[in-house]
Structure 1
Amino acid sequence: MSTPVLKNRLQSDLTDAIRARDQVRSATLRLALTAVKSQEVAGSSARELSDDEVLAVLRTEVKKRREAAEAFAAAGRPDRAERERAEQEVLESYLPAQLTEDELTGLVAEAVAQAAASGQTGTAAMGRVMGLVRARTGQRAEGGRVAAEVRRQLQG
């Protein structure tokens, strides 16, 4: 099996960052590659991750950075929070573009209307609407963002 394109890109970007002496980028890419390798050896047998699986690992790492930045900011550590945000930005550059709030609102409104047309309304339609929206958004919107918007539109 050939090495996934995204993993190769991470490795070559790490080499470039080291040569450029970009400490934040090189440290972040090292951590990301370590997370990918950890995932590859997890389970009963080692295997190579596909690009989609590497993206899933990167998404998890972005979420960790966001939560850590929030925790550091709440604890009065703006320096550490800024470092986490910088790492988050580096990792987000490898992810597909996220939907804007307007695009997400429009997709959710369509799904709510579709569920209402089939007789499901209110919070009881949450599962159906989530299924419709997740099918349309794929990986371009976080589940938490989608759920919050669906809940907002179903209650409002």
Structure 2
Amino acid sequence: MIREQVKSAQVTAMKAGDKERLAAVRLILAKLKDRDIELRTATSVPDDDVVVVDVLQKMVKQRRESIDMFKNGGRDELAAKEQAELDVIESFLPTQLTEDETKAAIEGIKAEVGAESVKDMGKVMAVLKERHGSVIDMSKASGLVKAALS
């Protein structure tokens, strides 16, 4: 479903002559093709939307890190280019949970698995990723889980 949205966005960007959006969409499609090639030899292939969301989340993380590095290096024009790509990539991701919704999900899972200390963080993170991996930024969730278990 998300893959079809990306492909139709490519056609739309071509017709509109939007070169920046087209370049970003082509980057997404290239990463998806790379991931498809990797999965050819896999024993179990996850659902297509799971694969696409995973690729998009990795791309978002890379862009955010690049933006920070460019801003620290005084390269605002490159940071702006990365930000434009980030906006396009995020437009295809499912709506992310807010911080309060994430905390509520963490509390529910914490109670469910009986987590009481930081030693149980792995259990909570595994269940959180399984249930909400596509709608939660797992790097931010990690900090929230650690805080909830401290």
Do the two structures share a fold, i.e. TM-score over 0.5?
yes
- Mapping 1:9-20, distance limit 5 Å: 9-20=5-16
Unaligned ranges ≥5, structure 2: none
TM-score, normalising length from structure 1? 0.80
8 A Cα contact 2:67 2:82, kept in partner: yes
1:124 matches 2:122: no
1:137 alignment partner in structure 2: 132
- Mapping 1:1-156, distance limit 5 Å: 5-42=1-38, 50-115=48-113, 118=114, 120-155=115-150
The CA distance in 2 between the partners of 1:38 and 1:135, in whole Å, is 23
The CA distance in 1 between the partners of 2:88 and 2:18, in whole Å, is 11
The CA distance in 1 between the partners of 2:77 and 2:147, in whole Å, is 34
Paired residue type of 1:32:
I
Cα root mean square deviation, aligned: 2.3
When residues 74 and 135 of structure 1 are mapped into structure 2, their CA distance, relative to the original with a 3 A threshold, is same
Paired residue type of 1:80:
L
Unaligned ranges ≥5, structure 1: none
TM-score, normalising length from structure 2? 0.83
Q: How far is the alpha carbon of 1:64 from its aligned partner? A: 1.4
When residues 53 and 128 of structure 1 are mapped into structure 2, their CA distance, relative to the original with a 3 A threshold, is closer
The CA distance in 1 between the partners of 2:52 and 2:131, in whole Å, is 21
Paired residue type of 2:132:
T
**The residue matched to 1:129 in structure 2 has which SS?**
helix
